[in-house]
Amino acid sequence: MKRTASKFVNTLFGLMAIICLLIPQTSIKAQDNQFGNWYAWFNNIKFNAKWGMNNDIQFRAGKNWNENSLILIRPGVNYYVSANQTASAGYATTLVTHKLTGDQPRLTEHRIWEQYIITGRLLNIPVQHRFRLEQRFLKRPDESVFTQRARYFIRGIIPINSPLQQPFNKGWFLALQNELFFNIQNKDNVNGSLFDQNRAYAAFGYRFSQKYDLEIGYMNQFSKRNTQPNLLNHIAQIAFYTRL
């Protein structure tokens, strides 16, 4: 198991290294390092063999809780195409404020989103691939704009004390994931680039049962910006997963 897990780690981080090489050198030279804290709840409820729902609620803040805060609410409907494929669609909204206290303008984003999830195994490790399309309605102080964004997400869970060949029902695990973001329509309304951002993430977690996971990890978020230096955000994240 250790050899297989090692191969998976090397493969995933190899992909991350390739992604970093694809980012223009000018982006790497001029960047703004920031720090943040994210707290997230990801929930899935299965009604029957074909239908269910999902939602996630996230609170994101800068290094200090009173700066760069964001609340994200994202509900959706699931259709189970097969045992390892799920199609979903839903709505999301974000409430952004630069300060939790004081009279600061609140900026709102509304999204319609569609996604397709495929689960399987890579080097005998459970892996999830998620393809998501977002229609983003951005409300700024002086204007409202529309843009579309595509996202590709890959996540693998490596049980620490359980054989990979058996169902993982309880125990400690290592989670590794990466997500790429691309502006595919009206990119000038955001950062003027096809490439939007990349999020690489590693976490340790504990599975209480098939229904509940809790994890804490580090996310490296690289965001390309238009008129400002590119952003490199170092994020500590605590996430709770429920499958009901």
- The rounded distance, in Å, linking the Cα atoms of 197 and 202 is 17
- Spacing of C-alpha 51 from chain mean position: 23
Average pLDDT of every residue of the chain: 87
pLDDT tens per residue across span 161-206? 888 767 889 999 999 999 999 999 999 999 999 999 999 999 999 9
pTM over 0.85: yes
pLDDT tens digits, residue range 97-131?
665 555 556 678 999 999 999 999 888 889 999 99
DSSP letters for 188-243: GGTTSSSEEEEEEEEEEEEEEETTEEEEEEEEEEEE--SSSPEEEEEEEEEEEEEE
Calpha distance 221→235 (Å, rounded):
8
Q: In this structure, are residues 180 and 222 in contact, taking their beta carbons and an 8 Å threshold?
A: no
Please report the pLDDT score of residue 143 as a whole number.
Answer: 86
- Residue 128 has a pLDDT of 95
Contact criterion met (CB below 8 Å) for 220 and 21: no
Instruction: Collapse the DSSP code of 3 into the 3-class scheme (helix H, G, I; strand E, B; otherwise coil) and give the result.
Output: helix
Supply the pLDDT for residue 211. 97
Is residue 120 within 8 Å of residue 127, measured between CB atoms?
yes
Task: Report helix, strand or coil for 123.
Answer: coil
Identify the CA nearest to 129 among candidates 6, 7, 15, 10.
Answer: 15
Handedness of CA 28, 31, 35, 40 (dihedral sign): negative
Give yes or no for a contact between 136 and 109, defined as CB atoms under 8 angstroms apart.
Answer: yes
How many residues are recorded in the chain? 244
pLDDT of residue 26: 43
> Comparing 18-22, 43-47, 225-229, 239-243, which segment has the lowest mean pLDDT?
18-22
- The answer to whether 201 and 217 are in contact (CB under 8 A) is yes
Percent of the chain with pLDDT over 90: 66
Query: In the CATH scheme, what is the code of domain 2-243?
Result: 2.40.160.40
DSSP designation for 187:
G
Give the model confidence (pLDDT) of 133-171 as tens digits: 999 999 887 889 999 999 999 999 999 988 876 788 999
pLDDT in tens, 3-35: 655 555 555 555 555 555 555 444 455 688 989
Which two structure tokens, joined as six digits, stand for 1?
């198991």
The pLDDT of residue 164: 76
